[in-house]
Structure 1
C-alpha cells in the first residue's frame, strides 16, 4: 500500500525543503515524490538536505499542474492549516486520514498534497482534492515547516501501515467500491456541467449552484460503479450533452 501513496509538493520555493521532505518520506517508507512547478529543481541544496534519501530526490517527477500530478489518483488529500469555503470531507486527526488513505491505496494511487511554504494551497488547488487534513497544533502558534508537516503525516501513514501489516486480517475492498480516479471524476463534472447548461438549469441567480453540487458529489465519495450510473442518468436526461465515458 505504501508504494501507492504519493507525496505532492506544490510550487516549493526553497529547494532545501524538497530534500528535507524526501528525507522525511524515506524514513517512513514512502518513495514517490511529485513536484508541481518548483522554483528551483534540480538543485544541490535539495540533494544535500535529503542526506541518505538522495534516491527519492533523484526520482522525483516534475509536472506543470496539480491536475497532472493527481489525475490517476482515487483519493487526493490536501494538507491545510485552515478550512476553505469548499466543504470537502475533512480529517481533523491525521490518524483518521492515514487509515482512509491506506484503505484506498489497496486498489489505486492516493496523493497527499502540500502547498507553498508561506501561503499553502489555493482555493482552486483545494478543488482538485477529495479531502482535507489538518495537523492539530498550538492555536497560538500552529506554524509548521513544510518538511515537518510531511514528516508528521508520513509517520501516521507508516503507523497505520504497521498496524495493518501486523494484523492477520487484511480487508479486501470489493471491486465495485473502488473510488474513481480524479480524471474520471473530472469527466463526470464536465458531463454534469453540460447537462445543467443545456437544460437551462444554470442561470445567473444560481451562480454558485454548480460549485455546490460538485462539492456535494465530492463529499458523497461515489464509487466508480456509482459514478458510471450517475453518468448514465445524465446521458438519459440529455443525450446531446457530453457523453465522453472515459
Structure 2
C-alpha cells in the first residue's frame, strides 16, 4: 500500500527541504518522490539533509507541472494550512486522511501534494486535487516546514497501513527479536557454565558454599533463554576477563 503512495513537492526553494523530505519518507517506508520545478535539484545540500535516504533522491522524478505528476493518480490530497473556497472533501485530522489514502492505495496511485515554503499551494494547483488536508496545528501559527509536514503525514500513513495489514509491518523490536535466532546446544551451555564457575572460583566469588550460588547463577542464565550468538559473546567476555 505504501508503495502506491506518492509524495509531491511543488516548487521547493530550499534543496535541504527536499533532502529532509526524503529522510522523512524513508523513515516511514515510502519511496516515491516527485518534484515540480524545484529551484535547485540535484544539490549537495539535499544529499546532506537526506541522511541515508539518498536512494530516494536518486529515484525522484522531476515534472514541469503538477498536472503531469498526478495524471496517473486515483486520489490527490493537497496539504494546505489555509482554507480556500474550493469544493473539495476536507480532512481535518491526519489519521482520517491516512485511512482514506491507504484504502485508495489498494486500487491505484495516491498522491500527497505539499506546496512552496512561503505560500503553499495555489487555487489553480488545488484544482488538480481530489481532497484537501489541513493538519490541526496551533491556529496562531499554523504553518509547518514542508519536511515537517511530510513527516507528520507519512507517520500517519504508516500507522494506517500497519493497522490495515499488521503482518506486513513488524515493529523494531520484532525485527530484532532474538527468539528468531538459533539456540545453543546443551553442550555449549554446559561449557559456558563451567567456564563461569572456574572464573568465579578463581576470583574468590564462591565464599559461601551453603548458598548454592552456582546453581542460582545457572538458573538465571537458563531463564534468560540466550541465543547462540549471545552465549558466545558471554563466553568471550569471560575469557577476556580471565586473561587479565
State the TM-score bracket (shorter-chain normalisation): 0.5 to 0.7
- 1:143 CA drift (Å): 2.2
- 1:167 CA drift (Å): 7.2
For 2:147 and 2:122, the matched residues in 1 are separated by: 19
For 1:114 and 1:138, the matched residues in 2 are separated by: 19
SS of the residue 2:120 aligns to: coil
- Structure 2 counterpart of 1:53: 53
- 1:113 CA drift (Å): 0.2
For 1:40 and 1:135, the matched residues in 2 are separated by: 28
- Structure 1 counterpart of 2:93: 93
- 1:104 CA drift (Å): 0.6
- 1:85 CA drift (Å): 1.1
- What TM-score comes out, normalization by structure 1 length? 0.67
- Structure 1 counterpart of 2:121: 121
For 1:100 and 1:140, the matched residues in 2 are separated by: 28
- Structure 2 counterpart of 1:5: 5
User: Between Structure 1 and Structure 2, how many residues are aligned?
Assistant: 168
The answer as to 2:138 corresponding to 1:138 is yes
- 1:165 CA drift (Å): 1.2
The answer as to 2:36 corresponding to 1:36 is yes
- 1:49 CA drift (Å): 0.3
| Higher Cα radius of gyration | 2
- What TM-score comes out, normalization by structure 2 length? 0.68
- 1:86 CA drift (Å): 1.2
For 2:121 and 2:142, the matched residues in 1 are separated by: 16
In the alignment, structure 1 segments of 5+ residues that lack a partner are: 169-246
SS of the residue 2:52 aligns to: helix
- Structure 1 counterpart of 2:161: 161
In the alignment, structure 2 segments of 5+ residues that lack a partner are: 169-244
For 2:143 and 2:110, the matched residues in 1 are separated by: 25
SS of the residue 1:103 aligns to: helix
For 1:166 and 1:20, the matched residues in 2 are separated by: 27
